[in-house]
């Protein structure tokens, strides 16, 4: 069957004075019901032709048509079949038209009796989703066409439809002919759509042909009500969309405590939800000069600007947002005065901003700050890149603002969580320290304490003890008391250094003197035991350094002590100073002893680290020496590190000391001190202070 031409188009060709009107589906339903009711309530036997777009629409009305068929033999129902609908002659005639027929786009109802005539000939207008079909409400469907009581129009429409009916069901030719004779004027049969000029248009007056102004008003009222309903639906739909978007962003970002993940989810959801070309978010403070774009959402075909540096300090738009503490929108970046301004002091000129805008193809721009309790955490940006500018709606700005608030909260939560994790790690470290301390105390304090106790008890309970044995007892008790004192001393020193309660006395120093002092300290401490060979290779001429003398001697003494402890008497210890930089000297204490495994080179500086564990050690010591050294060296802004080729390959401990700056300005790294320089000494604890 050939596709029939739109009935509305044909009718309008015949009656060019008629202007089609817009009708909502709800209005058409009400009108067609009114027309059908007129048939049901009357005594006439009218011609009724109803054309439904689809079978499903007809099925809702099938019951009514069975009742209408009881009134008249001339009832025709047309529809595009979906399941059961077919050509049939039961209570009334059903005509199944092709699914590609233009009839599928139209809705027709013709009621033609002796005393009344009305017709409804409408075509569905496909409305885009954004234009009000919100919430998928069927009543919002729009039609355009003619609804009238005009007999001539109704007759002409009936004529066109009867032709279509006979085309689809030729067997109804006779019945249709009978209808024509009964309801249509004889001349209409000869009128053809192709000859619209045959019609005497002057007789058609749109307004006067309407028999009932009251009905017309009712229809207008109905239409207005429907329009209001659509508007209300649209606004409800917008609100629902907004709420859904905020909820989905909030839910998604609450699932994460990772700031980067939060920001990526936020731009993705927001960009998709608002259908923008580009959505960016970057973290920034009010005082930042620039920001790096780390998270972006891109619509198809839009160029990425991820990784780019965005100007902030001299960017008048950013500054305006910070000042306003609110969102800023630019509908058309080409015509915005801010982007064409001349350079103002300390600001990017409009021209420079235009370059930025052009390079990123920004046409419509929205900047929304992310604040938390008045503190700027970042910025959300939405870009439309054309071809047409977009007018930002107030509700869009409100929505992005609401999401920015949620992002602010999520970022602060993530920050708090990260701080909590740091604190937890610190607590765990503290706990480990405490456990270590207990272990050390158990071993290092209890063992000498027991020895001291045994010695003193023996001395007290055995008056007949020989003087030699008495002396041995006393010496043992004294040695162990000294061991305990050292542990307590180291522990206190480290706590003082770590808590920053140390008063540094930074002054110009001669390294030779420090080395000499530390060497004599070590030798004095190991007077009783044989030591490996210690070679002092410090060059004669060296610049002065800037450090605290007492602490410098302490570091040297500890490194030398360790070297002695972990090197056999056949081995060798060397102390050297190199001047490889204009800013600091590098001191190295090397030994040929037991060495350190490469993976332990960092760990040896941890508190209480001892390779064999505190409980199994034979060499004594507290495991605090290197931790103390690291704190001291950091105190004057130096570095300390260890090197070793591994087990039994010896070790080298290096640390840096800054060169005294005043001498640098006059005679840069040139050696200024020789070994002949005199030293003054001042005793404090076990180390000496020099000046």
Residues at the interface with ligand ADP (CB under 6 A): 562-563, 566, 591, 593-594, 596, 604, 609-611, 621-627, 651
In the complex, minimum distance from the CB of residue 515 to ligand ADP, in angstroms, rounded to a whole number: 17
Quick one: tokens of 459? 């001395």
**Which residue lies nearer to ligand ADP by CB, 616 or 680?**
616
Nearest CA among 76, 155, 75, 159 for reference residue 116 = 155
**Which residue lies nearer to ligand ADP by CB, 197 or 529?**
529
Tracing tokens 């990123």 back to the chain, one arrives at: 360
In the complex, minimum distance from the CB of residue 601 to ligand ADP, in angstroms, rounded to a whole number: 10
Q: Tell me how far CA of residue 180 lies from CA of 47, 78, 185, 438, 447, in angstroms.
A: 9, 18, 8, 113, 125
**Which residue lies nearer to ligand ADP by CB, 563 or 640?**
563
In the complex, minimum distance from the CB of residue 444 to ligand ADP, in angstroms, rounded to a whole number: 10
Task: Give ∠ CA 467-470-474 in degrees, rounded to 5.
Answer: 140
In the complex, minimum distance from the CB of residue 288 to ligand ADP, in angstroms, rounded to a whole number: 42
In three-state secondary structure terms, 116 is coil
Nearest CA among 107, 140, 111, 147 for reference residue 26 = 140
In the complex, minimum distance from the CB of residue 646 to ligand ADP, in angstroms, rounded to a whole number: 11
Strand stretches in 373-454, DSSP E? 375-384
Residue 401 near residue 302, CB atoms below 8 Å: no
Which residues have a Cβ under 8 Å from the Cβ of 211 and sit 6 or more positions away? 149
**Which residue lies nearer to ligand ADP by CB, 80 or 563?**
563
* Residue 174: alpha-carbon gap to chain centroid: 73
**Which residue lies nearer to ligand ADP by CB, 101 or 591?**
591
**Which residue lies nearer to ligand ADP by CB, 366 or 557?**
557
Length of the chain counted residue by residue:
691
In the complex, minimum distance from the CB of residue 551 to ligand ADP, in angstroms, rounded to a whole number: 15
**In whole angstroms, what is the distance from residue 657 CA to residue 396 CA?**
60
Helix H segments across 331-466?
350-359, 394-440, 446-461
CB atoms within 10 A of CB 132: 17
Task: Give ∠ CA 539-540-544 in degrees, rounded to 5.
Answer: 95
Which helix (H) or strand (E) covers residue 666, if one does? helix 661-666
**Which residue lies nearer to ligand ADP by CB, 310 or 609?**
609
**Which residue lies nearer to ligand ADP by CB, 327 or 487?**
487
Bridge partners, 148 (sequence order): 119
Residue 561 near residue 522, CB atoms below 8 Å: yes
In the complex, minimum distance from the CB of residue 618 to ligand ADP, in angstroms, rounded to a whole number: 11
CB atoms within 10 A of CB 451: 17
**Which residue lies nearer to ligand ADP by CB, 16 or 613?**
613
In the complex, minimum distance from the CB of residue 442 to ligand ADP, in angstroms, rounded to a whole number: 16
**In whole angstroms, what is the distance from residue 627 CA to residue 621 CA?**
13
Q: DSSP readout, 509-532? A: E-HHHHHHHHHHHHHHHTSSS---
In the complex, minimum distance from the CB of residue 594 to ligand ADP, in angstroms, rounded to a whole number: 5
**Which residue lies nearer to ligand ADP by CB, 185 or 598?**
598
How are beta strands 572-578 and 533-536 bridged, if at all?
parallel
Quick one: tokens of 386? 């054309």
In the complex, minimum distance from the CB of residue 525 to ligand ADP, in angstroms, rounded to a whole number: 13
**Which residue lies nearer to ligand ADP by CB, 55 or 591?**
591
**Which residue lies nearer to ligand ADP by CB, 103 or 604?**
604
In the complex, minimum distance from the CB of residue 490 to ligand ADP, in angstroms, rounded to a whole number: 8
In the complex, minimum distance from the CB of residue 669 to ligand ADP, in angstroms, rounded to a whole number: 29
Which residues have a Cβ under 8 Å from the Cβ of 192 and sit 6 or more positions away? 198
**Which residue lies nearer to ligand ADP by CB, 640 or 664?**
640
Tracing tokens 């495991």 back to the chain, one arrives at: 623
In the complex, minimum distance from the CB of residue 626 to ligand ADP, in angstroms, rounded to a whole number: 3
Q: Tell me how far CA of residue 115 lies from CA of 71, 149, 150, 209, in angstroms.
A: 15, 11, 12, 15
Residue 651 near residue 565, CB atoms below 8 Å: no
């Amino acid at each position: 069957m050939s596709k029939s031409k739109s009935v509305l188009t044909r009718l309008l060709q015949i009656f060019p004075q008629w202007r089609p009107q817009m009708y909502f589906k709800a209005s058409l339903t009400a009108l067609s019901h009114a027309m059908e009711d007129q048939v049901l309530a009357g005594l006439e036997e009218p011609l009724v032709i109803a054309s439904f777009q689809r079978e499903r629409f007809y099925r809702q009305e099938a019951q009514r048509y069975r009742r209408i068929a009881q009134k008249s033999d001339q009832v025709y129902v047309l529809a595009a079949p979906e399941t059961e609908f077919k050509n049939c002659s039961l209570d009334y005639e059903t005509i199944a038209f092709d699914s590609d027929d233009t009839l599928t786009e139209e809705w027709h109802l013709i009621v033609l009796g002796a005393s009344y005539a009305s017709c409804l000939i409408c075509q569905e207008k496909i409305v885009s989703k954004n234009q009000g079909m919100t919430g998928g409400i069927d009543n919002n469907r729009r039609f355009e066409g003619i609804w009238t009581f005009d007999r001539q129009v109704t007759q002409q429409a009936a004529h066109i439809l009867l032709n279509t009916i006979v085309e689809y069901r030729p067997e109804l030719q006779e019945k249709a002919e009978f209808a024509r004779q009964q309801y249509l004027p004889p001349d209409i049969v000869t009128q053809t759509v192709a000859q619209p000029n045959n019609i005497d248009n002057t007789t058609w007056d749109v307004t006067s042909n309407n028999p009932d102004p009251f009905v017309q008003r009712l229809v207008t009222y109905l239409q207005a009500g429907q329009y209001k309903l659509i508007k209300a639906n649209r606004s409800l739909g917008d609100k629902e969309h907004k709420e859904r978007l905020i909820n989905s962003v909030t839910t998604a970002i609450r699932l994460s405590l990772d700031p980067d993940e939060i920001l990526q989810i936020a731009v993705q959801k927001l960009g998709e939800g608002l259908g923008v070309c580009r959505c960016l978010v970057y973290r920034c403070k009010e005082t930042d000069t620039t920001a790096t774009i780390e998270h972006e959402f891109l619509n198809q075909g839009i160029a990425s600007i991820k990784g780019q540096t965005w100007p902030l300090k001299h960017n008048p738009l950013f500054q305006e947002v910070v000042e306003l503490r609110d969102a800023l929108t630019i509908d058309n970046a080409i015509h915005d005065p801010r982007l064409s301004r001349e350079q103002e002091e300390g600001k990017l000129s409009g021209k420079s901003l235009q370059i930025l805008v052009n390079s990123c193809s920004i046409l419509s721009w929205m900047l929304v700050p992310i604040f938390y309790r008045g503190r700027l955490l970042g910025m959300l940006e939405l870009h439309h890149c054309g071809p047409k500018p977009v007018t930002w709606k107030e509700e869009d700005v409100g929505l992005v603002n609401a999401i920015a608030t949620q992002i602010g909260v999520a970022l602060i939560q993530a920050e708090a969580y990260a701080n909590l994790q740091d604190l937890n790690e610190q607590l765990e470290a503290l706990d480990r320290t405490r456990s270590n301390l207990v272990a050390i105390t158990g071993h290092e304090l209890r063992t000498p304490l027991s020895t001291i106790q045994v010695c003193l008890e023996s001395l007290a309970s055995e008056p007949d003890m020989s003087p030699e044995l008495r002396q041995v007892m006393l010496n043992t008790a004294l040695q162990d008391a000294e061991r305990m004192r050292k542990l307590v001393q180291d522990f206190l020193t480290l706590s003082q250094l770590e808590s920053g309660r140390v008063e540094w006395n930074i002054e110009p120093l001669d390294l030779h003197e420090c080395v000499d002092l530390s060497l004599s300290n070590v030798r004095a401490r190991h007077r009783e035991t044989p030591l490996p060979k210690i070679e002092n290779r410090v060059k004669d001429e060296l610049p002065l350094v800037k450090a605290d003398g007492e602490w410098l001697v302490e570091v040297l003494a500890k490194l030398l002590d360790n070297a002695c402890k972990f090197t056999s008497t056949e081995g060798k210890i060397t102390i050297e100073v190199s001047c490889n930089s204009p800013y600091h000297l590098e001191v190295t204490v090397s030994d040929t002893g037991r060495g350190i495994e490469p993976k332990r080179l960092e760990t040896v500086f941890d508190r209480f680290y001892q390779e064999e564990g505190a409980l199994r050690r034979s060499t004594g010591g507290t495991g605090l020496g290197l931790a103390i050294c690291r704190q001291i060296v950091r105190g004057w802004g130096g570095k300390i590190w260890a090197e070793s080729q591994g087990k039994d390959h010896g070790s080298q401990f290096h640390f840096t000391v800054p060169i005294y700056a005043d001498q640098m300005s006059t005679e840069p790294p040139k050696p200024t001190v020789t070994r002949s320089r005199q030293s003054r000494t001042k005793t404090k604890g076990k180390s000496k202070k020099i000046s």
